[in-house]
């Protein structure tokens, strides 16, 4: 038994907690990658965007994978802002305001948006207007994406950022060494608490992000059926 375990009997339990938290973080990131690709697919197919699909890099660190997500989500933000600019440029001010008026019928908003995309793209799919209205009228970009980008940046800049994605395939001691690095073993509790805080905020924001994307993709599937 290590001397630190004799001095701090809770260390073995905290080690297991740290490994479990790391796995939760990776699972959450993996789901966000898939959700982002789903949204990118919808934007590319129906709104004429060219967003690059992303993939987790198992040979890279948490920070490097966070940066991949941030870049993709920033591109989605940019594309939705461009959609808004196109609407503002092509529509009369009264019609543009209708897109954001919660009192206006949804079908009328969709018809307005579809007309613009037919002009911009030359030919628009039947779901283009619906997707545009959903993205512009929801808080997907203004709240969920912005919040998640902020949290990804925080995680990347923290002690968690330097951890490799692939450590879970290693032995327990190598996992702990990779997670803790130069930290003293008696800092396990602080490491666990820090991980818990980041993970709780990240999971909550991720759930909202994934839910917002499901709302868009489910509408598309219903339209296709």
For 25-81, what is each residue's pLDDT tens digit? Answer: 888 989 999 999 999 999 998 888 899 999 998 888 888 889 999 999 999 989 888
Q: CA-CA-CA-CA torsion for 160, 164, 168, 172, nearest 10 degrees?
A: -80
Q: Where are the beta strands (DSSP E) in the chain?
A: none
Determine the distance from the C-alpha atom of residue 135 to the mean position of all C-alpha atoms in its chain, rounded to a whole number.
15
| Nearest CA-CA partner of 65 in 143, 142, 162, 159 | 162
57-72 as b/e, with b when 16 or more CB fall inside 10 Å?
eeeebbbbbbbbbbeb
User: For residue 163, what pLDDT band results from cuts at 50, 70 and 90?
Assistant: low
| Per-residue pLDDT at 32 | 93
Give the other-Cβ count within 10 Å of 25's Cβ: 20
Give the residue among 127, 138, 188, 201 at the shortest CA–CA distance from 159. 188
Over 70: is that where the pLDDT of 169 sits? no
How many whole angstroms separate alpha carbon 33 and alpha carbon 55?
Answer: 7
The model carries a pTM of 0.79
- In this predicted structure, the answer to whether residue 182 has a pLDDT above a threshold of 50 is no
Q: What are the pLDDT digits (tens) for 95-110?
A: 888 888 888 888 888 8
């Amino acid at each position: 038994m290590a001397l630190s375990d004799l001095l701090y009997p809770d260390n073995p339990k905290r080690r297991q907690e740290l490994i479990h938290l790391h796995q939760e973080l990776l699972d959450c990131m993996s789901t966000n990658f898939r959700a982002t690709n789903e949204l990118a697919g919808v934007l590319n197919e129906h709104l004429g965007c060219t967003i690059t699909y992303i993939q987790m890099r198992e040979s890279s660190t948490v920070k490097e994978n966070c940066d991949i997500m941030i870049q993709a989500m920033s591109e989605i933000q940019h594309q939705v802002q461009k959609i808004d600019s196109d609407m503002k440029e092509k529509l009369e001010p009264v019609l543009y305001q209708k897109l954001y008026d919660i009192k206006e019928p949804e079908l009328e908003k969709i018809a307005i948006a579809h007309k613009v995309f037919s002009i911009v793209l030359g030919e628009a799919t039947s779901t283009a207007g619906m997707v545009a209205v959903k993205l512009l009228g929801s808080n997907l970009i203004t709240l969920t994406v912005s919040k998640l980008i902020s949290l990804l940046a925080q995680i990347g800049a923290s002690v968690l950022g330097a951890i490799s994605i692939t450590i879970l395939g290693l032995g327990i001691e190598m996992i702990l060494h990779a997670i803790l690095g130069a930290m003293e073993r008696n800092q396990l509790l602080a490491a666990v608490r820090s991980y818990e805080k980041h993970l709780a905020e990240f999971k909550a924001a991720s759930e909202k992000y994934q839910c917002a994307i499901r709302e868009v993709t489910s509408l598309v599937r219903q339209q296709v059926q």
